[in-house]
Amino acid sequence: MSNKYFPNRWKLVKSLPDEIFTELALPFDEFMEWRADSWHLPDEVEVLIRATHMPTHKVAEYVYKRPEYARKKVRELIKTEEYEVTVCTHEAVIHIPLNLI
């Protein structure tokens, strides 16, 4: 199985005139409310888990259609006492830091 390749279009963005960015600019507070304080999971996804392996700081993401499998994965990750875990559902985002495990 191969990963899809998404081309990097930095040359296109770099070639755009500065006016485009100043006209489209949002105040920081609006940007944070729009992108950081809100999230959207596709309808077919029930739970997204992001696990950060603290000794190496490598991040892995797991996507589940069924919450019971997500609960099992979270238990497995925190049992090792090496991961900080963030769980995202349609209703909430929960962060489980390593020092609370």
Residue range 37-91, pLDDT digits in tens: 778 899 999 999 999 999 999 999 999 999 999 999 999 999 999 999 999 999 9
Phi and psi at residue 33, in whole multiples of 5°?
Answer: -65, -40
**Dist CA 82 CA 55 (whole Å):** 7
The pTM for the full model equals 0.66
Q: Measuring CA to CA, how many Å separate 30 from each of 25, 34, 36, 38?
A: 10, 6, 10, 11
What total number of domains does the chain contain? 1
Expressed as residue numbers, the domain containing 67 is 47-100
Domain presence at residue 61: yes
Task: Choose among 62, 68, 56: nearest CA to 85.
Answer: 62
Domain presence at residue 34: no
**Dist CA 62 CA 79 (whole Å):** 17
Domain presence at residue 85: yes
Domain presence at residue 28: no
